[in-house]
Structure 1
């Protein structure tokens, strides 16, 4: 079936259900568009100020927001602000963004189909995600009876007003209009641009009055969903769905608004530019929200989540959540530094060692001819066995949307009385760590690990070892260590070297303030816990 035939089928469908709010937006003869309302909720938030604004001095990522029985609790994780209780209709003004807490509940007052179609209008006209205040404004208009077609007319007027950003203009040809819709809705531009015959067909629909610009956009939005599962064009549906899902995350779940109109325009367009048919990870990373457990549209849960205490040291966990909630790509960005102070106890020996690890991303470097990101790690033993020993590690890795690849490391040990001892380790192929794992999902890999002592007092070439590592995500649960109580991803590590398998468990923090840091490690005879944690510059 040809693409244009599918679109024509959708045009017929629209003519049948045009009167429905959640349908395709066909014009109703008795409706007269209201006066132009350019910009309201489209490029900037509505002018009406919310009744309840609560201001905070820090950026959003310094805080954790939790729904309570009567509203929300906002916890300052960095400063001395403590916890502030606010209403479920409050707007929270941070240094970088404003959060509309009420939109999550308001979004449920219209149908899911209408909500998604409203977000799709933002995509079709502006190729951006909506801000929360703007989406709230248009939800109110829908509840007052405004149809999708009249909404489209308002959006089109705004698109003309901001021609330099949208590409729309009052003088543009029908063909130029059609091409923009193909780009925004169907992801078709450049080398993947639609054939002229398809463009001309829709341009003729506009020229002859068979379609209005609003109804044509609605038709193409509906048509985009008809490609689901198509072996050639299924990516069109997935791309649109991904854009909608990021819009829901940004505006409805996170309640986000940028604090100035220019930021609202530029940043929400930049977010959509990162979305592909295969992934939304980079777009979410661009949004840069660390409080991933916050969802303004979720109902209050008196029992919370992650009720396991995570100290049983066996193959169990909460079995809930996704491991991506515990990874933090900021930890590899230049300008970010972080540290962990750990206390490690060996039960059989009755010894405890306290050490501090300081991390500093150092930009791009070459490792064995590979361009990789260099992470500098300094470890100092503060007390216990080996007090005063210092190690400096350079790790070489590349971090992507859904995984990291580790190529190896260079370790410099400073031994009291002996001087420096340098060891270079190489992993072939690079060791993979997937970021997005479902509860109880495993990933297994075998690689070669070669170590050599170079430029040291004890030059040694160690035998190459074959290592098989199996990583299993056991779910997000609560863990309490001297550094505090956190929600964390629990992982099981099975490492096999020379037919000998060792098992360990780690708890990687998901809470916003320390997301990505390790709270606890358990092995056969050793328990290591975090006593102090810090992240600076993210």
Structure 2
């Protein structure tokens, strides 16, 4: 990796390609039939270059910026500023665009993204979008923006569908076809075409401003039984454009890809589907979002306050009754779990402690299902080390399956963690099921202590250590937050967990010594 600084432009570049890549336009806020030719806007900060593709890295927020982690483990983690620009072999990431987008009203930001797609037939890139955000912040109106976009779009008729020689009626037809998706059986009648062409003929509208007007009119059909799909298509295009440029902060390292791949992504959007377009974008760092509200902790406290050595002693039994709620539907299921340390045993030639976790599903679709998880661990003054486990799941009295998992190397959970600094480890595991051994993809795990804070659950109100756990396995990321009790005689037990779409809270807790 190396840090490179983008060269500042010393002159205006008379290149129509540069105009198109930047969504064309320039420094003037005056309406003009000819764009101001300018190279693509510079990224907001010096670029930090990485040798691999975007999907080879995990980007996570830190207390002061972001951290870029090589999933192969071949290079060290790189701390970057909150407004850094990253360049991978295939893509660029503008980390500043999420905050930068907030300087515009939500309505103006939507309009900007929609016009970008309408005129250039592709999703916006983060750097180009950031440039136009600044222009609008400086006073450029929506109509002036649209006229600048139109002036550039006509230079590439084969890509955009617009040309300088088309008639007003032909121009309107292109809007209906390429922007509103109305062609074939849904093509507009001549009366509608003539109405909008008349706005141009009379001078009431410019071609740039007419696109804005027609888009606004189309949004008025939301919920309409016949034409409601049109505004839905527009909304979906905005959603995908926002996901690509703002939420992910993306652009392509090769300017030609910005055109060809940007067009391909926009073409995949339909009135009923955005997933195909996101699949084509193909970002596997699922938890990364520049628009996400980052859960934070108090930034104070000691993680060791949540360690309870009694939980690993033979003769101690602790029991938890928990309720898990699927946030999307509000559906809640409850279960009870009892932990029993069984003393020292041998597991795969390792002398370890066996901790037995017996669970019973109390309510929900799986009510009555029991499972037993035997974890094989070593505990010292500094950390908790997991060598593997044996999981047995039963339905009533019938054994469904038994799975033995072996960790390589053993998974470590330190008791003492610095505030807001991730403890990162990579491990793999094999699973033995019905006599067969399956090698699972390696997992890179990041554990962060966010501080102590008060948490209230049905079991009570506690001071708790808030922990963030991020896992990356086979290119997919998951993040969860768990609050471990730091006070009272229940120290060390989990009070609450927030995972992917699910919140689990303790309803009853006990430790018997």
TM-score relative to the length of structure 2: 0.56
Of 173, 177, 188, the match for 2:182: 188
Q: What stretches of structure 1 of length at least 5 have no aligned partner?
A: 1-29, 305-311, 323-340, 357-380, 392-480, 488-508, 520-538
Aligned 8 A contact 1:125 1:181 in 2: no
Q: Quick one: structure 1 residues 317 and 172, their matched pair in 2 at CA, closer, same or farther if it must change by over 3 Å? A: same
Offset of residue 117 of structure 1:
0.7
Q: Name the counterpart of 1:6.
A: none
Alignment partner, residue 36 of structure 2 = 37
- 1:294 paired to 2:288: yes
Question: Measured at CA, do residues 274 and 149 of structure 1 come closer, stay the same or move farther in structure 2, by a change above 3 Å?
Answer: same
In the alignment, which residue of structure 1 is the partner of 2:227? 233
Structure 1 residues 249 and 352: CA distance shift in structure 2, 3 A: closer
> Contact 1:77/1:513 (CA < 8 Å) preserved in 2?
no
The 1:517/1:52 distance shift into structure 2, 3 A limit, reads closer
Q: Which moved more, 1:205-214 or 1:266-275?
A: 205-214
After TM superposition, the structure 1 = structure 2 runs for residues 139-288 of structure 1, keeping only pairs within 5 Å, are 139-288=133-282
* Contact residue 78 and residue 513 of structure 1 kept, 8 A: no
Distance 1:88 1:149 in 2: 33
In structure 2, what is the Cα distance between the partners aligned to 1:62 and 1:76? Answer: 6
Does the residue aligned with 1:161 lie in a helix, a strand or coil?
coil
Which residue of 2 is the match for residue 106 of structure 1?
100
1:64 equivalent in structure 2: 58
Where in structure 1 do 4 or more consecutive aligned residues deviate above 6 Å?
312-315, 381-386
Q: Kindly indicate whether the alpha-carbon contact (under 8 Å) linking 1:152 and 1:214 is maintained by their aligned counterparts in 2.
A: yes
Q: Does 1:53 align with 2:47?
A: yes
What is the rounded CA distance, in whole Å, between the counterparts of 1:517 and 1:241 in structure 2?
A: 27
Counterpart in the other structure of 2:77: 83
Q: CA deviation at 1:303?
A: 3.9
Contact 2:443/2:472 (CA < 8 Å) preserved in 1? no
Decide whether aligned partners of structure 1 residues 238 and 513 sit closer, same or farther in structure 2, where only a CA change above 3 A counts. Answer: same
In structure 2, do the counterparts of structure 1 residues 243 and 518 end up closer, same or farther at CA, with 3 Å as the change threshold? Answer: closer
Which residues in structure 2 correspond to 1:365-384 (within 5 Å)?
none
- After superposition, the Cα gap between the structure-2 partners of 1:210 and 1:95, relative to the gap in structure 1 and judged at 3 Å, is same
Mark the CA change 1:107 to 1:384 in structure 2 (over 3 Å): closer, same or farther: closer
Specify whether residues 385 and 153 from structure 1 end up closer, same or farther in structure 2 by C-alpha distance, changes over 3 A only: closer
Q: Which one is further off, 124-133 or 94-103? A: 124-133
* CA displacement at 1:298 relative to structure 2: 3.0
Residue 514 (str. 1) matches residue 474 (str. 2): yes
Contact 1:38 1:161 (8 Å CA) reproduced: no
Q: Secondary structure at the match of 2:260?
A: helix
C-alpha displacement of 1:131: 0.5
Q: Deviations over 1:266-287 (max 9, x none)?
A: 1111111111111111111111
C-alpha distance in 1 between matches for 2:328 and 2:57: 21
How far apart, in 2, do the equivalents of 1:113 and 1:279 lie? Answer: 22
| Gap change, CA 1:353 and 1:141, over 3 Å in 2 | closer
The separation in 2 between residues aligned to 1:110 and 1:169, in whole angstroms, is: 31
* Structure 1 residue aligned with 2:506: none
TM-score for both structures, normalised by structure 1: 0.54
Give how far 1:189 is off: 1.7
1:194 and 1:39 map into 2 onto residues whose CA distance is 37
Corresponding position of 1:125:
119
Superposed CA offset, 1:440-460 (max 9, x none): xxxxxxxxxxxxxxxxxxxxx
**CA apart distance, 1:296:** 1.3
The answer to whether the 8 A contact 2:445-2:472 is kept is no
Question: Residues of 1 paired with 2:393 and 2:235: CA distance?
Answer: 52
Displacement of 1:321: 7.6
Count of aligned pairs: 325
Deviation at 1:80, TM superposition (A): 2.0
Structure 1 residues 92, 222: CA separation in 2 closer, same or farther (over 3 Å shift)? same
Aligned CA RMSD, in angstroms, stands at 3.8
Contact 2:43–2:94, Cα closer than 8 Å, also in 1: no
Whole-Å Cα distance in 1 between the matches of residues 81 and 446 of structure 2? 25
